[in-house]
A = this chain, B = another copy of it.
Amino acid sequence: MPKIVDHNKQKEKLAVATWRVIRRDGLERASLRNIAKEAGLSVGSMRHYFSTQSELLAFSMQLVSDRVCDRLQSFVPSGNLMEDVLHVLCEMLPIDEERSTEMEVWFAFTSKALVDPTLQALSLYVYDDMKGFIAKKVEQLIEQHSAGSRLDVNLETERLFALIDGLAIHAIMHPERLVPEQARAVLIYHLQSIFKL
């Protein structure tokens, strides 16, 4: 009877348009009208998929973490633990255009999360998720390299986690000072200094 469109695809299309607006003009310019124009839709049409702006923004933030998770889950390990760990950790660095977009948008949302409970909750959830993920990798590395038996798993995990986010921020904010290869080099340097002794 009606014109049928894939609801979820349309929602993702709007979310990606939201990303573009945020990246180009900033989160405070991500108004319904600007997003609608970017997506080539009318404001009224958008309300069919998101009854409120907060919903759209929350969905757009969620989509970032979903995309990263998807890539992590579809990754097939090579068997070389160090290489594999390096590979998945690089998923969290802005090493190419796709990842840069995601990181910049995530950064903008993270900042807003400080004063927005809904976004705050999502941010916390992702923090726990990523920390658990990194902790697992640290444990595997410690187990493999017998010399690491005296390492503190908790401290090593938070150290590695903070290092990654710090590198990501620096690479995003000042790409002319920290290019992807350098960020990657620091990460390799860090892992080797701990697990290759």
Binding site for B on A (CB under 8 A): 24-29, 104, 107-108, 110-116, 123-124, 127-128, 131, 152, 155, 158-159, 161-167, 169-170, 172-174, 177-178, 182, 185-186, 189-190, 193-194
Q: Which residues of B contact A155 (CB under 8 A)?
A: 185-186, 189
Nearest CB of B to A107, in Å: 6
User: Assuming A127-B174, A166-B169, is B159 touching A25 (CB within 8 A)?
Assistant: no
Tell me whether chain A's interface is mostly helix, strand or loop, or mixed.
helix
A108: nearest residue on chain B (CB-CB)?
A: B111
Q: Which residues of B contact A186 (CB under 8 A)?
A: 155, 158-159, 162
- CB-based contact A173/B110 at 8 Å: yes
User: Assuming A166-B163, A186-B162, is B114 touching A172 (CB within 8 A)?
Assistant: yes
8 smallest A-B Cβ distances: which pairs?
A: A162-B166, A166-B166, A111-B111, A26-B115, A165-B166, A28-B28, A162-B167, A155-B189
Nearest CB of B to A2, in Å: 37
- CB-based contact B107/A26 at 8 Å: no
